[in-house]
Amino acid sequence: MTARIGVITFPGTLDDGDAARAVRHSGAEAVSLWHADADLHGVDAVVVPGGFSYGDYLRCGAIARFAPAMTSVIDAAGKGMPVLGICNGFQILCEAGLLPGALVRNDKLHFVCRDQWLRVENTTTSWSTRYDSGAEVLIPLKSGEGGYMADKPTLDRLEGDGRVVFRYVGENPNGSRGDIAGIASESGRIVGLMPHPEHAIDALTGPSDDGLGMFYSALDALGAVAA
């Protein structure tokens, strides 16, 4: 079975093309999903990509969370479908209640664009099994509102349950609590992170191919074969 992974496009999405390319690079079929269409077209997993959905009006991800496509994603995620939220996609998943916490303005109030080292903390999610625990990976980061925030009980629960998937290495780029770069749902099938693995799938065009492991992990979780 060749996995079919959907990539949602909202008004203002920037990285849907690169996310679809990463899906294809992993050997899966990339399926374009339109924000206004509630039909997920039978996909096996969904990527909510980065960008500035709806111009980031009100709050990053606050409007996108109510799009018909996201209503279907919320329902499918509740039934076990793997979902990956990247940058703005992470913000949307938090707004949708699929992941806890929120992403706020970077602590130095500047947009950050750089290649960022991350440490892999959890290798049991649907999107991280291809990594070794403690491995350091180089992934591009580009965001103005990427500081992960949550109250202390939520942070304690994430840390205690091992749901921090990726952590920033070295200088914290945005003031995220606990240097958190990415987290998982309780089931481990939903993951959100601020850095962009889809920009690190080929050492020729990115700083590394370290991001490809996330897409291979999803294929493993789905029991799929690369095309």
Question: What integer pLDDT is reported at residue 226 of this predicted model?
Answer: 53
Give the separation between CA 154 and CA 142, rounded to whole angstroms: 25
> What's the pLDDT tens digit per position in 38-57?
999 999 999 999 999 998 88
Residue ranges for the chain with pLDDT beneath 70: 224-227
Residue that has been written with the tokens 């109030």 in this structure: 109
How far is 219 from 82, CA to CA, in rounded Å?
10
Would you state the structure tokens that stand for residue 116, as one six-digit string? 């960022």
Catalytic residue among 25, 35, 196, 199: 196
pLDDT at 227 (0 to 100): 47
Asked if 87 contacts 19 with a C-beta cutoff of 8 angstroms, the reply is no
CB 225 within 8 A of CB 134: no
60 belongs to the catalytic site: no
Return the bridge partners of 13, or none.
51
Confidence at residue 224, expressed as pLDDT on a 0 to 100 scale: 65
pLDDT at 135: 98
SS3 label, residue 92: helix
Q: Domain boundaries in the chain?
A: 4-221
For 15-43, what is each residue's pLDDT tens digit?
A: 999 999 999 999 999 999 999 999 999 99
Active site (annotated) includes residue 196 = yes
Share of the chain above pLDDT 70, in %: 98
**Catalytic position from the list 87, 94, 121, 145:** 87
What CA–CA distance (Å, rounded) separates 87 from 141? 8
Output phi, psi for 167, to 5 deg.
-135, 140
Determine the straight-line distance between the first and last CA of the chain, rounded to whole angstroms.
9
* Marked catalytic residue, from 121, 145, 198, 199: 198
Cβ-contact 89, 70 below 8 angstroms? no
Q: What architecture does CATH give domain 4-221?
A: 3-Layer(aba) Sandwich (3.40)
**How high does pLDDT run on average in the chain?**
95
How far is it, in rounded angstroms, from Cα 202 to Cα 99? 29
Predicted pLDDT of residue 41: 97
**Catalytic residue at 87?**
yes
Helix (H) or strand (E) holding 190: strand 190-193
> How many Cα neighbours within 13 Å face the side chain of 11?
7
Asked if residues 75 and 43 have their Cβ atoms less than 8 Å apart, the reply is: no
